[in-house]
Amino acid sequence: MEKNEKTFRPAAVIFDMDGLMLDTERLTIPLWAEAGIIFGYFISEDIVLKTVGISNAKAREILINEFGPDFPYDKIREEFRLIVSREIDRNGVPKKPGLDDLLDRLTSADIPFGVATSSRRSTADEMLGKAGILNRFASITCGEDVVNGKPAPDIFLLAAERLGQPPSACAGLEDSPAGLRGLHAAGIRSVFIKDVIEPPEDVLAAVWRRCGNLTEAAELFGI
């Protein structure tokens, strides 16, 4: 993959979900504090940001390291999921600008696309379904489908396999440092679109392209 490529027409495209297609990180990050306070813990935004884009197991490790071995991670996570579900039921799932247009253009160009998300399948199905886009994807690969979550490359390699393409022929869109690291390790051209986190310099140095929004990504692919 050449940094001086002006455009690249991928054989398949792999999408992250939260913060990339769905504007859910800003919505849900404060809800960790709401869930935690029920059990006597204040989970600050700074702590939650450390868990963005990574597997459930790694998020658990971060929070237990922060609050100690008695931290009731599973109970708080379940309460968090219930709070998020109520919020989504009230207000819907916000999509990122340009998402529907990009999916339409990929479809018109006959380029298959799938999802690679650290979320559980039940969560992914619910969120994508309520956003009205669940059935648009050729495949959906979730956190429980692999042993090693992001930033390991496993989920992206499996997503590419399910799309029937070698990693080098794919492009992946991500907003998190963990996801970008995983794409690079998988040998997939990474497109970074910022949401709530600015990745460290070493991660940005390995990014194939940076776009301001999903519409720019469509132009990058020449579609």
Q: Are residues 53 and 32 in the same domain?
A: yes
pLDDT tier at 203 (50, 70, 90 boundaries)? very high
d(CA 89, CA 20) in angstroms, rounded, equals 21
Residue 63 lies in a domain: yes
- Under 8 Å between Cβ of 53 and 177: yes
pLDDT tier at 69 (50, 70, 90 boundaries)? very high
Q: Long-range contact list for 102-111, CB < 8 A, 24+ apart?
A: 102/214, 102/215, 102/217, 102/218, 103/133, 103/136, 105/218, 105/223, 106/13, 106/218, 106/221, 106/223, 107/136, 108/223, 109/9, 109/221, 109/223, 111/9, 111/10, 111/11, 111/12, 111/13, 111/221, 111/223
Q: What domain count does the chain have?
A: 2
Mean pLDDT of 197-202: 95
Query: In the listed set 56, 75, 91, which residue is the last one of a domain according to the structure?
Result: 91
Residue 3 lies in a domain: no
Expressed as residue numbers, the domain containing 211 is: 12-23+93-220
Q: Are residues 66 and 116 in the same domain?
A: no
Residue 6 lies in a domain: no
CATH number of the domain residue 215 falls in: 3.40.50.1000
Q: What pLDDT is stored for residue 53 in this prediction?
A: 86
Q: How far is CA 98 from the centre of its chain?
A: 16
